[in-house]
Amino acid sequence: MASDDSAALLVNHVRATLGDGPFPAPGGWSHMGAVITDSVLQQRWNYQRQVRPRVEGLQKQWPDAATVSGFRDRISKEGLEKVLRLKPQKNLGLIKELTDHLAQAGVESRQDLHQWLDQTAHRASLRTLKGIGPKTVDYLGCLVGRDDIAIDIHLRAFAKQAGVTISDYAALRSLYEQTADALGHQRSGLEHAVWNHQSTL
């Protein structure tokens, strides 16, 4: 658990910087090809300029890839380079690996993944894929409407501005969860509000 002092610092910073809300949750995607692609591409690129346009384009061009099996079939037949407008790279390989992993686990839909992520063992299984860390696992939850918090550089910077010195991923996530609960906000809504604020600085 984070210290009471750290929690108070972050609570005060949220109030002073973001106000009292409400902070709507982002919602994510219902198209599983979009969920998987977003979760991988966001690791390295600017979201608004590079990730979101490709994810939206994927949904328009591959509407039948709304399920994991549908996405897997499209990848098998056509590859990802053209639809995502990318040259071959390791991120494309990870998209395929994550798709295969979820398909083998019997995950087909947004609701399937939402429930599947309830299990600690399932979340741990994602970490066996090279390139999938705790932030991406949490972010997958956000993308399917779970009330999760994914700690990225924006949330780390916001906490540092508040005077918080915690750097450990799990401890910082717990601190944000405490803060959201203390202020009466949805956890994913607070995360999104912080992310939006920091990404415009």
Quick: pLDDT tens for 9-66: 999 999 999 999 999 998 899 999 999 999 999 988 889 999 999 999 999 999 999 9
Mean pLDDT computed over 136-155: 97
Contact status, residue 195 vs residue 148, Cβ threshold 8 Å: no
Q: Residue 126 and residue 89: Cα distance in Å, rounded?
A: 20
Mean pLDDT computed over 117-124: 98
Buried b (16+ CB within 10 A) or exposed e, 163-185: ebebeeeeebbbbbbbbbeebeb
CA distances from 16 to 10, 11, 13, 162, 166 (A): 10, 9, 5, 10, 20
Per-residue pLDDT band for 1 (boundaries 50, 70, 90) equals: very low
Contact status, residue 62 vs residue 90, Cβ threshold 8 Å: no
Structure tokens at 169: 């991923």
The pTM score is 0.93
